[in-house]
Structures are given as C-alpha cells and as structure tokens.
Structure 1
Amino acid sequence: MTDDHTQRALAILAAIGTGAVPLDPFTANAHWWWNGGLDLPVAEFAALLADLHGRTEDGIAITPGLTMADGDSVMIEATSAARLTNGRVYANRYIFLFHFTGDAIREVREYSDSAHVNATFDLAGPMGGG
C-alpha cells in the first residue's frame, strides 16, 4: 500500500505544476494545511493554486527529493521553481506530509517558507487572505 500511496502523493505534486489539482484522489472531507496560515478544503486549495498558477509563466514546477512512507503517511522533501509574469522568481523548499485513509488522501500538510510565498506573489497575508 505504501508504494501506491507514494505514487499518488507524487502525482499530486506533479499536478501542482499544471495549476489543476485533481480532486478524485482525495476523501470527500480532505483538507490542505499550510504552515503559512491556511487550512482549507482541498477544492478551495485547488482554486487558490489555480490563481497562483495564473501569475506564473509556466506553472510551479515541484521537484521531489527524499521520499519516505510509513503506514498511511508519505513524507516528501521537495523544491519548486517558477518564473512569475512580473519577472520575479519563486523558488521554495518544502516538506509535504500526505495522510491517507485507504487509497484516498485525507490531508496534506505543507511546510515551506511562507514569507517567500507572500513576498514573491505579493500576497497581503496567508495566501492573500488578509
């Protein structure tokens, strides 16, 4: 099961680059938590990501690094790269924790440099929320 979980988690990170996170790999009540001050239902996170994607030239490429799986959880270290339409460069480091119920993702916990996200994308508060 852990190999399947790892592949599902990696597929979500690859989808971030397209700006469209598919909702079908998630449980109905799944949420995306970010250390910058967000805890959103996955559909709301997907909408926010689409907005951020629209500010980039070619999306936000996520490159996975170390991956570890244990039981119903997968941890992935990753880096990102994106050029924004305003000329800025977004490059961050992450730890993503994916928690599963059966084959479905119930929660993603994303740890990154929130100050870099807010400054690069000109966001007023947590992901533009205030």
Structure 2
Amino acid sequence: MTNDRTQHALAILAAIGTGTVPLDPFTSDARWWWNGGLDLPVAEFAALLATLHTQTESGIVVTPGLIMAQDDSVMIEATSAARLTNGRIYDNRYIFLFHFRGDAICEVREYSDSAHVNATFDLTA
C-alpha cells in the first residue's frame, strides 16, 4: 500500500505543472496547508493553482527528490522551476507531507520559501 500512496503523491506533484490538480485522489474533506498562510479545502487550492498557472509560460515543473513513506504518510522533498509571463523566474524548494486516510489523501502540508512565492507571483490575481 505504501508504494500506491507514493505513486498518488507523485502524481499530484506532476499535476501541479499542468495547473490542474485532480480531486479524485483526495477525501471529500481534504485540505491543502501551506506555511505561507493558507489552509484550504483541496478544491480551493486547485482553483488557486489554476490562477498561478496562468502567470507561467508553461507551468510549474516540480521535480521530486528524496521520498520517505511511513505509516499513513509520504514525505517528498522537491524543487520547482517556472518562467513567469512577467519575466520572473520561480524556483523553490519544498517539503510536501501527504497524509492518507485509507488510499485517499486527506491532507497535504506544503513547506516552501513563502517569501519567494510572494515576491514572484501576483497572489492578488
């Protein structure tokens, strides 16, 4: 089961690059928490991501690194890269912590450089 959970988590990170996060791998009450001050239902996070995606030339490429799985959690260290339509470059480092209930994701905790996110993207759009 851990391998399936890891694959679900990796698929979500890959989907970030498309600007669309599928909701079916999540529980109905799943939340996406970000250390920059967000704690949203996953559907609201997906809408925010779609807005951010429009500010990039070709999406945010998230590249996984170290992966650790234990019990009902998968932790993925990752980096990202994107060129924005305003000419800025977005490159960040992350720790994503995926919590599962059964086979579905019930929470994502995203740790990144929030100052870089705020300086690069127009979060008011």
TM-score bucket of the superposed structures, by smaller chain: over 0.9
1:26 pairs with 2:39? no
Alpha-carbon distance in structure 2 between the residues aligned to 1:66 and 1:106: 21
What secondary structure is seen at the aligned counterpart in 1 of 2:21? coil
Alignment partner, residue 14 of structure 1: 14
Deviation of 1:122 (Å): 3.2
Unaligned 5+ segments in structure 1 are: none
Deviation of 1:110 (Å): 0.1
1:51 pairs with 2:58? no
TM score, norm. by length of structure 1:
0.94
The 5 Å alignment of 1:46-125 reads 46-123=46-123
What secondary structure is seen at the aligned counterpart in 2 of 1:40? strand
Runs of 4+ in 1 over 2 A off after TM superposition: none
CA offset digits 1:28-54 (Å, max 9, x no partner)? 000000000000000000000000000
Alignment partner, residue 5 of structure 1: 5
Alpha-carbon distance in structure 2 between the residues aligned to 1:122 and 1:6: 31
The alignment covers a number of residue pairs equal to 125
TM score, norm. by length of structure 2:
0.98
Matched letter for residue 27 of structure 1: T
Unaligned 5+ segments in structure 2 are: none
Deviation of 1:86 (Å): 0.6
What secondary structure is seen at the aligned counterpart in 1 of 2:8? helix
What secondary structure is seen at the aligned counterpart in 1 of 2:33? strand
